[in-house]
């Protein structure tokens, strides 16, 4: 239950009762009822009428929860369906503990304050596998009665790792990854320490929540997915705003609202190829590199990035996308060389056509001009060989040992694993033949290692991190 500050259409607002519903992985929604500020139609014969639905939009819709907490609903859309009831939706809901919002008590707010979205000064968030990605542990050592005979028989202790938090700063932006801890000590039967990994982003100049997500939070989630080879979730987000004190938890699509505590078992299970502390890698640098490549429409970032969080994609789709990602990366990295080859090819083509002008008849010349390609020949076999050869680990032997490639290479005309992959890709892309999903998946798993390896390479990760992609899969 809540009270909304509904724009009244006259530059002010009306306090009206309503509801707000926030759920994991869902956009917030709500309702408003009471004496709504509706727009009347022009009077006809002295009689007023109202048309429905009526829609009101606001960058931010403020309100107060029944428990005193404050609400800021972003990208709000209010739809009035009847004289006394309306439906409310938004892209995200910011919930505070109450008191003040935008520097004022919510009851004092007017529509003037809702004409722009709030700016974010810092974002606290958690992504699954964040602890494995950071490469640090919150506990440095422990002492128990059973480890050494000289240890006190009544003492259990833990020494915290004061260097577990890692921080980076660049271009007016700071990113830190550390641990929030909680202790259970007042129980006479149980003594417990738990720690939860948390990332904190701080910017010098305020940015919109959407920009914070698109430019920092989502890139780190994708990097975490690449490093672990598994889709990773955004579990929790809270923000601080530039013009008000306090912290506000964010609810919206893509946030699972399931924060977790770290464990050695989960860290081992995630098997992250990136271990920022050990590798002396800046996660902020990786985020900025990802942003740069996304702005340039880098084929690997766009193609592979689009499939990172897909949990149930068919092996056929993944096979085609992974081949496309490798092909696009090769084209991106050799684009200057290809431009030179194309110019040389066009020059040779013109010389050939000129030399035939006085030798063959008109029909032959038209055929030659139409079917003599203006682009130099390319081969997917050569692309795959080049892309796999550029990795620190040779994966062609693994590909050759898969049942799918062995089956295709049983044809004497297919001489190499790369040649077999080309044939499979062409058959799938053109719909001329299908393959067993389990056999395709066996190849997909290896191809994905190659794409993950190349993704880490373009982001600037060291060879040791890239090699872990292949070693952890053994």
pLDDT (tens digit per residue) in 382-408: 899 999 989 999 899 999 999 999 999
| Separation of alpha carbons 222 and 308, rounded Å | 7
Encode 237-265: b = buried (16+ Cβ within 10 Å), e = exposed. Answer: bbbbbeebeeebbbbbebbebeebebeee
Angle at 81 between CA 38 and CA 59, to 5 degrees: 65
pLDDT of residue 106: 43
pLDDT digit string (tens) for 171-227?
899 999 999 998 887 778 888 889 999 999 999 999 999 999 999 999 999 999 999
Is residue 199 a contact partner of residue 126, using CB atoms and an 8 Å limit? yes
Q: Whole-structure pTM over 0.95, yes or no?
A: no
pLDDT digit string (tens) for 83-111?
999 999 999 999 998 655 444 444 433 33
pLDDT of residue 261: 95
Q: Which 8-state DSSP code applies to residue 351?
A: H
End-to-end CA distance of the chain: 54
What is the chain's pLDDT, residue by residue, as a tens digit (474 residues)? 999 999 988 888 999 999 999 999 999 999 999 999 988 887 776 777 888 899 999 999 999 999 999 999 999 999 999 999 999 999 999 999 865 544 444 443 333 445 688 999 999 999 999 999 999 999 998 888 877 777 788 888 889 999 999 999 998 999 999 999 988 877 788 888 899 999 999 999 999 999 999 999 999 999 999 999 999 999 999 999 998 888 999 999 999 999 999 999 999 999 999 999 999 999 999 999 999 999 999 999 988 887 877 667 889 999 999 999 999 999 988 888 878 888 888 888 888 888 888 888 888 888 888 888 888 877 889 899 999 989 999 899 999 999 999 999 999 999 999 999 999 999 999 999 999 999 999 999 999 999 999 999 999 999 999 999 998 554
To the nearest 10 degrees (0 to 180), the angle between helices 437-459 and 463-471 is: 170
Where do the DSSP E strands lie in 188-329?
Answer: 190-207, 234-241, 247-252
pLDDT of residue 114: 56
pLDDT of residue 473: 52
């Amino acid at each position: 239950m809540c009270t909304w500050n509904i724009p009244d259409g006259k530059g002010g607002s009306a306090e009206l009762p309503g509801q707000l519903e926030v759920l994991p992985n869902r956009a917030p929604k709500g309702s408003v009822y009471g004496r709504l500020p509706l727009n009347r139609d022009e009077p006809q014969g002295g009689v007023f009428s109202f048309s429905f639905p009526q829609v009101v939009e606001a960058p931010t819709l403020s309100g107060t929860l029944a428990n005193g907490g404050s609400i800021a609903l972003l990208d709000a859309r209010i739809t009035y369906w009847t004289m006394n009831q309306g439906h409310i939706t938004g892209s995200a809901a910011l919930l505070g503990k109450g008191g003040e919002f935008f520097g004022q008590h919510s009851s004092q707010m007017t529509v003037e304050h809702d004409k722009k979205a709030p700016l974010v000064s810092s974002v606290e968030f958690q992504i699954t596998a964040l602890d494995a990605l950071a490469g640090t542990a919150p506990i440095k050592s422990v002492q128990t009665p059973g480890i050494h005979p000289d240890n006190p028989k009544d003492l259990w202790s833990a020494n915290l790792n004061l260097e577990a938090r890692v921080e980076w700063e660049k271009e007016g932006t700071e990113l830190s990854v550390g641990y929030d801890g909680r202790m259970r000590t007042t129980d006479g039967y149980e003594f417990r320490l738990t720690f939860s990994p948390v990332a904190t982003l701080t910017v010098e100049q305020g940015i919109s929540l959407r920009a914070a997500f698109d430019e920092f939070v989502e890139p780190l989630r994708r990097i975490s997915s690449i490093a672990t080879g598994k889709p990773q979730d955004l579990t929790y987000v809270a923000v601080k705003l530039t013009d008000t004190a306090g912290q506000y938890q964010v609810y919206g699509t893509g946030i699972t609202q399931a924060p977790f505590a770290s464990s050695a078992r989960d860290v081992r299970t995630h098997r992250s190829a990136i271990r920022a502390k050990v590798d002396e890698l800046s996660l902020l640098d990786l985020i900025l590199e990802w942003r740069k490549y996304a702005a340039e429409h880098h084929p690997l970032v766009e193609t592979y990035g689009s499939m990172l969080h897909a949990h149930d994609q068919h092996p056929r789709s993944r096979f085609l996308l992974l081949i496309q990602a490798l092909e696009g990366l090769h084209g991106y990295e050799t684009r200057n060389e290809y431009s030179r080859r194309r110019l040389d090819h066009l020059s040779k083509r013109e010389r050939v056509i000129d030399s035939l002008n006085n030798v063959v008849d008109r029909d032959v010349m038209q055929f030659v001009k139409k079917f003599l390609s203006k682009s130099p020949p390319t081969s997917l076999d050569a692309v795959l060989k080049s892309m796999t050869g550029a990795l620190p680990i040779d994966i062609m032997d693994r590909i050759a040992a898969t049942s799918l490639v062995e089956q295709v290479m049983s044809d004497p005309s297919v001489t190499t694993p790369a040649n077999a992959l080309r044939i499979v890709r062409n058959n799938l892309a053109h719909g001329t033949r299908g393959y067993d999903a389990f056999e395709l998946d066996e190849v997909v798993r290896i191809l994905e290692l190659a794409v993950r390896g190349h993704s880490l390479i373009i982001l600037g990760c060291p060879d040791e991190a890239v090699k872990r992609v292949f070693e952890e899969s053994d």
